[in-house]
Amino acid sequence: MRATAIALLAVLLLTALPTAPLAREEGRTVAVEVISIAASTEEAEALAVGERRSPAAAGVAPELSRFSKKLRALFAYNRYLFLSRGRAKAELGGESTFQLPGNFSLEVEPVRVDEEAGLIEMVVTLVRELPPSPAAERSESTREIILRTRIKLGNGGTVLLGGPPIDGGVLILALSAKG
């Protein structure tokens, strides 16, 4: 009977433990993944590889299957093309830069991990590199900050960023972070 009581007590303690802040911030890294997507309202014919797929899956590239439901529920585009995927580990206070199609790049700086709330605070900057152009009197390439946002994302979660025009559609980025 005493062994049973001890086992029950252990279960209660173990279920309470994960809510306590355990991780130390110093030297902690956050794994970041950025998936870039081109969304458009074109006819959904051949996507990346032109293979036949079910009507439900038509219009969404197979690499985006895990976002398929969310993309369809959120947007009215009917074609989602997978462009690229980038992964990096960034230290808190450090910065990771992801090169994206269309001279875009995404800079992700994890600021802190709130273990208790299960949130990762980040500063995310979407930049477009404008190449030199004599017509526009630019002799050097310049950086244009399209978007800078400070967010607290659920640990292991995903946020969608998008809007800039890219090759007949718009650029959508699925940013995920886990720390």
Q: Are 84 and 36 in contact (CB under 8 A)?
A: yes
Q: Closer CB to another protein, residue 61 or residue 177?
A: 177
Minimum CB distance to another protein, residue 165 (Å): 5
Query: Is 4 among the residues that bind another protein (CB under 8 A)?
Result: yes
The count of residues interacting with another protein (CB under 8 A) is 49
Task: Judge whether 38 and 163 are in contact, CB under 8 Å.
Answer: no
For position 69 contacting another protein by CB under 8 A, the verdict is yes
Q: Which stretch binds another protein (CB under 8 A): 30-38, 54-62, 133-141, 155-163?
A: 155-163
Residue whose C-alpha is closest to residue 175's, from 106, 74, 111: 106
**Residue 125: CB minimum distance to another protein, A:** 10
Instruction: Say which residue the tokens 């462009």 belong to.
Output: 83
How far apart are CB 18 and another protein at their closest, in Å? 6
Show contacts of 26-30: CB within 8 Å, 24+ apart.
27/91, 28/91, 28/92, 28/113, 28/179, 29/89, 29/90, 29/91, 29/92, 29/179, 30/89, 30/90, 30/91, 30/92, 30/110, 30/113, 30/120, 30/122, 30/177, 30/178, 30/179
| Contacting residues for 156 by C-beta, under 8 A, at least 6 apart | 176, 177, 178
Is 129 one of the binding residues for another protein (CB under 8 A)? no
Q: Does 54 engage in binding with another protein (CB under 8 A)?
A: no
Instruction: List the one residue from 66, 85, 163, 167 that touches another protein (CB under 8 A).
Output: 163
- Of the pair 23, 73, the CB lying nearest another protein is at 73
Q: Which two tokens stand for residue 60?
A: 């969404």
Q: Which of residues 17 and 49 has its CB atom nearest to another protein in the complex?
A: 17
Percent helix, strand and coil across the chain, each to the nearest 5: 15, 50, 35
Contact window for another protein (CB under 8 A) among 28-36, 45-53, 54-62, 68-76: 68-76
- Which parts of this chain interact with another protein (CB under 8 A)? 4, 7-8, 11-12, 15-16, 18-19, 26, 39, 41, 69-70, 73-77, 93-95, 118-119, 126, 128, 144-165, 170
